[in-house]
């Protein structure tokens, strides 16, 4: 087995066996690691059949080496930061913590502080931070928590600057997708049905897209998309950079997906979608684009005529 493969399998097995990582800092103030951890370079030179071969990471084959332990700890704790306006958001889990903590930093040289710590939400540490979506300018973060490994997330909203949790809470947001409006007045999101709304046992299916305006009753959130579709379809939402186009990618299993688009300038955010997809392709993921012509020109398909004017 080559040195590279040997190193890969040793590290892979080690990561699987690690059940406790070494805590490096017990404080709630940390330094954002803007990029993946870098392993120490310690070249070792071998001569094999007259050829000199340099291995810069030979020490990583030794699981008891302090440098190996430090590198593995950093890898396990690392969560790539996301940018929202002037804010940097990232997650980190120390060795003795059951759940990762969401941190925020204002500006590159700002101070890191805890924004959401699920470890403090239950004495036994069984409340998990499932997902999180910052708004465009970072003013708010929508995040989901669930108890006891259920993954049945409840959506919450927190203000980044103050850490204030807004009263808006939405249940049934397992594996949610969230797309904030540019003015922070609300967001598009995916939601599962309540018990009793669908046949027993099907609550994990029938995902639909809704719109929530901050400060309003979530039970009255308008349904935008998903009615009449197959129970197993999974929609995801995204907004174009200019906030005009709402894109919905529907995943139908692992082999097919569809994309739908809505011109938000043409009506209220709660307008229902047409049941005809913009295009269907074998498995892809949608990315926000600035205009519908960008989408259609990329895939070389004709524009869909406007229902009112008949023009593309």
Contact 92, 105 (CB under 8 A): no
From 143, 140, 95, 83, select the one nearest 118 (Cα to Cα). Answer: 143
The tally of CA atoms less than 13 A away on the side-chain side of residue 255 is 0
Q: Are strands 186-191 and 208-213 parallel, antiparallel or unpaired?
A: antiparallel
Task: For residue 60, give every residue at least 6 positions away whose Cβ sits within 8 Å of its Cβ, in sequence order, or none.
Answer: 7, 10, 11, 39, 67, 68, 71
Token pair, residue 93, equals 């889990």
- DSSP lists the bridge partners of residue 178 as 189
The C-alpha atoms of residue 161 and residue 138 are separated, in whole angstroms, by 9
> Which residues in the chain show pLDDT less than 70?
1-36, 76-79, 267-312
Backbone angles phi and psi of 112, in degrees to 5? -75, 135
The tally of CA atoms less than 13 A away on the side-chain side of residue 42 is 11
Rounded (5°) CA angle 126-131-136: 145
Backbone angles phi and psi of 43, in degrees to 5? -60, 135
Identify the pLDDT of residue 267.
Answer: 59
Contact 189, 173 (CB under 8 A): yes
Residue with tokens 């001569």: 47
Rounded (5°) CA angle 131-137-140: 45
Backbone angles phi and psi of 133, in degrees to 5? -140, 110
The C-alpha atoms of residue 231 and residue 221 are separated, in whole angstroms, by 20
From 25, 114, 115, 100, select the one nearest 70 (Cα to Cα). Answer: 25
Query: For residue range 194-221, what is the model confidence (pLDDT) as tens digits?
Result: 988 898 888 999 999 999 999 999 999 9
- DSSP lists the bridge partners of residue 235 as 250
């Amino acid at each position: 087995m080559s040195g590279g493969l040997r190193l890969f399998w040793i590290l892979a097995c080690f990561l699987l066996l690690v059940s406790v990582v070494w805590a490096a800092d017990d404080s709630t103030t940390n330094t954002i690691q803007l990029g993946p951890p870098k392993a120490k370079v310690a070249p070792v030179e071998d001569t094999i059949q007259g050829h000199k071969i340099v291995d810069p990471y030979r020490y990583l084959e030794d699981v008891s080496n302090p440098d190996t332990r430090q590198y593995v700890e950093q890898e396990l704790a690392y969560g790539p930061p996301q940018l929202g306006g002037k804010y940097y958001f990232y997650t980190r889990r120390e060795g003795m913590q059951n759940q990762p903590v969401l941190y925020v930093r204002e500006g590159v040289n700002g101070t890191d502080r805890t924004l959401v710590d699920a470890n403090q939400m239950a004495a036994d540490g069984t409340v998990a931070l499932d997902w999180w979506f910052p708004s465009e300018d970072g003013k708010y973060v929508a995040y989901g928590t669930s108890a006891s490994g259920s993954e049945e997330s409840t959506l919450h909203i927190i203000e980044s600057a103050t850490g204030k949790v807004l009263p808006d809470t939405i249940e049934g947001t397992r594996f949610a997708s969230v797309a904030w409006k540019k003015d922070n007045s609300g967001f598009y999101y995916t939601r599962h049905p309540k018990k009793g709304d669908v046949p027993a046992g099907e609550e994990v299916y029938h995902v639909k897209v809704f719109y929530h305006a901050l400060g309003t009753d979530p039970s009255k959130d308008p349904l935008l998309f998903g009615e009449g579709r197959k129970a197993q379809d999974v929609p995801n939402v995204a907004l174009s950079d200019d906030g005009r186009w709402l894109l919905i990618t529907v995943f139908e299993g692992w082999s097919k997906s569809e994309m739908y688009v809505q011109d938000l300038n043409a009506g209220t955010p709660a307008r229902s979608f047409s049941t005809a997809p913009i295009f269907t392709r074998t498995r892809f993921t949608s990315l926000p684009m600035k205009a519908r012509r960008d989408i259609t020109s990329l895939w070389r398909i004709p524009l869909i005529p406007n229902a009112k004017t008949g023009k593309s």
